Chain A
């Protein structure tokens, strides 16, 4: 029964609402009791492979060609419930989607309740799993109050409990489990995955960057456009040319790229605008803010977004990045204190005035798109803001982002990198505004796609514009000109990347692996530091 693992033979799959296959002739073997990583750019079909193994395609329909054998049995002959009883569990990329109840204990117990496992037995399993994953302290907590890292652990615990309730050897399918997590949470999850690997559990992970999983991967498979391109150990795969071309190298090891970004760092331009308070796009003074009567920001003051620079608001999950961003944009109002966006209180802006001056790009750009084609999407802002010659503005914005060849393409058919670029084109570039505010712009992008976006942001800055972004990635923060670090609602650091790299307060708040990467960057930046404007300013 347990021989063979999972075997794909010339497998093709097309979603019911599409004509083009998403999986094209996949030939893949996933061994039992090992950790296998599927890596590739977004849209390559990695998540679909995981969902097919779990049997979700049986619920939605879709065209299938080829075969899959699971434990030696033809997958097509297994019903959805059969797959459940084989202990196959799936974890979504978004930790919020893995948690559907409000109490941690109930969430972990839910799978056992749904499988009609006796109450007493389910309690015992939940206790064991909580102890195994070191989350007993979360037992009585409300899931809405957990950080993304904690939510991901609870989701994993619930999945493990379900599979232990029905079968003793689970098969874990994890879809980019680290993409939402900060450095410390990533470390915690990696420790858990190491533990599962030691227990000889079968784990299959889909991700867009192999770097994070190098330590636990027994086997790595590069997937591109629905087929496996290359496989081997994580190290050999990461060293291959195919990997470098499709996924790209991490920013921290790409010295040439870092140099090209840092050389372009320059002192802020003098702005023609008058009546601006100070040299910063966002100034906040004595700000108090509370969630459900719990004080979150207690009298914080500062400024971020020096004109003509890229600034990062850095911090771990739940540190207050998004709250500060919302206060900046006037989406939230402080209990006490004052906020100034481009010299004015955010609520004093009329909708058209704010649209002309500020662009806001959400973490998931898909949430912003309301039209069918790329051109229609870009025309929305100029039409609503009554700008002259909208077609010309759109054409310039698309040219700037190298999307001019996609002008008539459907927004749905774009890759994640193209969507991110379109979100910039249809907001900041088409309106030619002064300030672009981006929420986690590196989210779900592999290194090569993120570099493309970053280059556009640097070019945008060179036009004298200001960019403020939020991130939990240290690699993203250090390529910015200025960094503000938040921790539990407090500002613990503000300065340049050179200062950031040696600041003890900040380093203590990072995960172990982030610290390792930081040391690596320190080595690289030795040369850069000598020619950086920070150094010039000091001299």
Chain B
């Protein structure tokens, strides 16, 4: 799914840094807009983000759905147990908290959907961060999906040997053995894959101690400045909204 929608999204026309900021505003905005009155504003922002990023809701749901459902359940329990208010207020608290978290989760899942990891690396480099950070982010985006696929193959091959990784109280010793060795194999695979990626990287001449070429294609255009100033204004307004309440 990573980088999948980059060519049909209007976000491609923006500099990667603007994309980072645009998605980044979801965090302060959702932190400041705590009152139920602002629920339409948060929903509007969420819809606006999804529309401008032109990613289908089902793709976002596939990417972030599981986290959201898990979080909704936790927040529901927290609101019902810890909030000492009438039931309607508890429900409203649950709704506003869930919406605020949803916008943060959706924003963080939107960026990798519309931006290649190598672009994020170049953007971080342009911001002034050391290239090792950008390269690590870039490799992680490629490495983890491959690792997940390998882990799933290992798990399935074990399943066909009757090896269950679920806790069985009647076979505690066997279960511990199975889980321990499963993680050992996954760890060995991780090391092996990491070594191969590392060899490819250094084999191409990457060195922590040498500068790398920065892309001149990353240049802030007028529309990027509009986005950046709008983002700052929105954060400021949401901050002001607290004193307004």
Give the B-binding residues of A (Cβ under 8 A). Answer: 51, 54, 56, 59, 80-81, 84, 89-90, 92, 94, 96-103, 106, 110-119, 122, 140, 142, 144, 158-159, 162, 166, 292-293, 329, 331, 351-352, 354-356, 358-362, 367-371, 380-381, 383-385, 426-427, 431
**Would you call A81 and B203 a contact (CB within 8 A)?**
no
**Would you call A361 and B157 a contact (CB within 8 A)?**
yes
**Would you call A113 and B162 a contact (CB within 8 A)?**
no
Given contacts A96-B146, A370-B184, contact A351 B159 (CB under 8 A): yes
Query: How many Å from the CB of B157 to the closest CB on chain A?
Result: 5
**Would you call A97 and B197 a contact (CB within 8 A)?**
yes
- CB within 8 Å of A: which of B17-69? 58
Picked from B1, B182, B212, the residue with its CB within 8 Å of the CB of A114 is B212
Q: Which chain A positions have C-beta within 8 A of B4?
A: 142, 292
Extra contacts, 11 of them, besides A101-B116, A106-B118 (Cβ < 8 A), are A81-B207, A90-B203, A97-B193, A97-B199, A115-B210, A117-B213, A119-B214, A162-B205, A362-B157, A367-B153, A431-B162
**Would you call B207 and A100 a contact (CB within 8 A)?**
no
Query: How many Å from the CB of A27 to the closest CB on chain B?
Result: 26
1/0 per residue, CB under 8 A from A, across B151-180: the answer is 011101111111110000000001000100
- CB within 8 Å of A: which of B199-223? 199-207, 210-217
B101 within 8 A of A: no
27 A-B pairs (CB sep. < 8 Å): A59-B202, A97-B197, A97-B199, A100-B139, A102-B141, A106-B118, A110-B204, A113-B212, A116-B212, A116-B213, A117-B213, A119-B217, A144-B2, A158-B204, A159-B203, A166-B205, A354-B159, A362-B153, A368-B158, A369-B185, A370-B182, A370-B185, A381-B162, A384-B162, A384-B178, A385-B162, A431-B161
Picked from A59, A97, A360, the residue with its CB within 8 Å of the CB of B200 is A97
Query: How many Å from the CB of B162 to the closest CB on chain A?
Result: 3
**Would you call A368 and B212 a contact (CB within 8 A)?**
no
CA A39 – CA B173 in complex, angstroms? 46
B236 within 8 A of A: no
CA A274 – CA B189 in complex, angstroms? 41
**Would you call A370 and B158 a contact (CB within 8 A)?**
yes
**Would you call A54 and B157 a contact (CB within 8 A)?**
no
Q: Which chain A positions have C-beta within 8 A of B189?
A: 367
B144 within 8 A of A: no
Given contacts A94-B196, A102-B3, A114-B212, contact A354 B160 (CB under 8 A): yes
Picked from A100, A360, A367, the residue with its CB within 8 Å of the CB of B201 is A100
* CB-nearest residue of chain B to A358: B160
**Would you call B206 and A114 a contact (CB within 8 A)?**
yes
Q: Which 5 A-B pairs give the minimum distances between C-beta atoms?
A: A355-B162, A111-B204, A370-B181, A384-B162, A97-B196
Query: How many Å from the CB of A416 to the closest CB on chain B?
Result: 15
CA A142 – CA B116 in complex, angstroms? 9
B150 within 8 A of A: yes
Given contacts A116-B213, A384-B162, A384-B164, contact A368 B197 (CB under 8 A): no
Q: Is the interface of A mostly helix, strand, loop or mixed?
A: helix
CA A122 – CA B204 in complex, angstroms? 13
* CB-nearest residue of chain B to A383: B174
Q: Which chain B positions have C-beta within 8 A of A103?
A: 3, 116, 118
**Would you call B211 and A116 a contact (CB within 8 A)?**
yes
CA A140 – CA B8 in complex, angstroms? 13
Query: How many Å from the CB of A436 to the closest CB on chain B?
Result: 10
**Would you call B117 and A101 a contact (CB within 8 A)?**
yes
**Would you call A368 and B2 a contact (CB within 8 A)?**
no
CA A318 – CA B150 in complex, angstroms? 18
**Would you call A292 and B1 a contact (CB within 8 A)?**
yes
**Would you call A114 and B200 a contact (CB within 8 A)?**
no
**Would you call B141 and A384 a contact (CB within 8 A)?**
no
CA A489 – CA B174 in complex, angstroms? 41
Q: Is the interface of B mostly helix, strand, loop or mixed?
A: helix
Picked from B116, B156, B204, the residue with its CB within 8 Å of the CB of A360 is B156
**Would you call A351 and B164 a contact (CB within 8 A)?**
yes
Query: How many Å from the CB of A344 to the closest CB on chain B?
Result: 15
Query: How many Å from the CB of A465 to the closest CB on chain B?
Result: 15
CA A114 – CA B164 in complex, angstroms? 45
Q: Which chain A positions have C-beta within 8 A of B159?
A: 351, 354-355
Q: Which chain A positions have C-beta within 8 A of B139?
A: 100
B142 within 8 A of A: yes
* CB-nearest residue of chain B to A362: B157
Q: Which chain A positions have C-beta within 8 A of B158?
A: 368, 370
CA A142 – CA B8 in complex, angstroms? 14
CA A417 – CA B52 in complex, angstroms? 54
Given contacts A119-B215, A351-B159, A370-B184, contact A54 B203 (CB under 8 A): yes
Most chain A C-beta atoms within 10 Å of own C-beta, residue among B3, B204, B210: B204
* CB-nearest residue of chain B to A427: B161
Q: Which chain A positions have C-beta within 8 A of B174?
A: 383-384
* CB-nearest residue of chain B to A423: B157
**Would you call A162 and B204 a contact (CB within 8 A)?**
yes
Q: Which chain B positions have C-beta within 8 A of A116?
A: 210-213
Query: How many Å from the CB of A180 to the closest CB on chain B?
Result: 13
Given contacts A56-B199, A118-B213, A367-B153, contact A360 B162 (CB under 8 A): no
Query: How many Å from the CB of A254 to the closest CB on chain B?
Result: 31
B14 within 8 A of A: no
**Would you call A92 and B118 a contact (CB within 8 A)?**
no
B138 within 8 A of A: yes
Query: How many Å from the CB of B65 to the closest CB on chain A?
Result: 15
CA A385 – CA B171 in complex, angstroms? 12
CA A405 – CA B71 in complex, angstroms? 55
CA A97 – CA B117 in complex, angstroms? 17
**Would you call B163 and A122 a contact (CB within 8 A)?**
no
CA A59 – CA B189 in complex, angstroms? 20
Most chain B C-beta atoms within 10 Å of own C-beta, residue among A96, A356, A384, A426: A384
Q: Which chain A positions have C-beta within 8 A of B184?
A: 370
CA A144 – CA B116 in complex, angstroms? 12
CA A56 – CA B198 in complex, angstroms? 10
Query: How many Å from the CB of A437 to the closest CB on chain B?
Result: 8
CA A92 – CA B178 in complex, angstroms? 31
Q: Which chain B positions have C-beta within 8 A of A383?
A: 174
